[in-house]
Amino acid sequence: MPKTKVAVIGSGNIGTDLVIKLKRVAEYLEIVVLVGIDPNSDGLARARRLGIDTVSNGVQGLIDHPDFADIAIIFDSTSAQAHIANAEALRPFGKHLIDLTPAALGPYVVPAVNLDQHLAAPDINMVTCGGQATIPIVAAISRVTPVHYAEIVASIASKSAGPGTRANIDEFTETTAKAIEEVGGAARGKAIIVLNPADPPLIMRDTVLALVSAPDQDAIRESIQQMIATVSAYVPGYRLKQEVQFSQVDGNVATLIGDDPVPGPLWKVSVFLEVEGAAHYLPAYAGNLDIMTSAALRVAETLAEKTTLELAR
């Protein structure tokens, strides 16, 4: 069966990593064109060396591309504001958009948690790199016991954060916090991102802190291990950094969990993760690139496989 044709908008770190993945590991997808706005960008140059068409005049160049009609899926790896404009320009053409920015025009999707629920949506949002790393853990805890509050801290190497990431810090925290609640199942969520300037660059690290009541510790550990296995099936460098920790919370934490009373003593579940990248573009420390592009690729492959099977019938 022919592969589903796709395009990528954005020739920065995320877009370039995604293009390399599409060329090397995609099973059901064929990358047709990479779209940028800087004709001298490294991403466009690399795409051309891989034999991929490029355009350097943005989304209009994509619309004018001779193969545009055959392209079914478009990845947007630009910025939140740019995606709003791109989605508006592409809306009349009925393409499936996979949004790797924090714009969140469409439903949040974290493959390990809700992969099949929103495949029909015209604009799928991949939350953020921190969200892809931590929301599965929040979901793993919340399927065992209610999570009153979840806080995540994503620490990434400064060298792995391109202009789009840096321009979207506020959107990162807002989008991730909302997705912690809507996808992860926490009653309240909070997100923090740290751009670590250490040299040599440090690998992506993520911390999940969840407040629960009377936890079944063994059940939570098992649920988290199952979720780690699910995520690592499409992000091989995703792993626990140390054992899951439980500690009883002392004092008044009402300001963290809202005004509603929470019965019984509260416990804090602490989960420490690291994400090693596949080094398709930047070195292995850039796990934030790898988890984002791998998650988006997983969604697109699933969508393409579903379409292929339907056509085969």
Catalytic residues: 129
Residue 7 annotated as lining a ligand binding site? no
Q: H or E element: which one contains 236?
A: none
Does 161 carry a binding-site annotation?
yes
Q: How far is CA 164 from the centre of its chain?
A: 14
Q: Are the CB atoms for 97 and 119 separated by under 8 Å? A: no
| Strands 29-35 vs 4-9: parallel, antiparallel or unpaired | parallel
168 marked as binding residue = yes
Do residues 16 and 42 lie in contact, with contact meaning Cβ atoms separated by under 8 Å?
yes
Q: On the CB side of 67, how many CA atoms lie within 13 Å of its CA?
A: 17
DSSP run (H or E) holding 22? helix 13-24
Both tokens assigned to 27: 């099973």
| 252 annotated as belonging to a binding site for a ligand | no
Structure tokens at 253: 């934490």
Q: Is 166 marked as a binding-site residue?
A: yes
Q: Is 164 annotated as a binding residue?
A: yes
Check: CB of residue 146 under 8 Å from CB of residue 269.
no
Distances in Å between the Cα of 311 and the Cα atoms of 112, 115, 301, 306 are 26, 21, 15, 9
Coil/strand/helix, residue 164: helix
DSSP 144: T
Q: Which of 54, 12, 29, 52 is nearest to 297 (CA)?
A: 29
CA distance 48 to 253: 55
* Paired sense of beta strands 4-9 and 123-125, if any: unpaired
Query: How many residues are given for the chain?
Result: 313
Cis ω before 261 (30° cut-off from 0): no
Q: Is 14 annotated as a binding residue?
A: yes
288 is in an annotated binding site: yes
> Residues comprising the binding site?
11-14, 160-168, 288
> Residues comprising the binding site for NAD(+)?
11-14, 160-168, 288
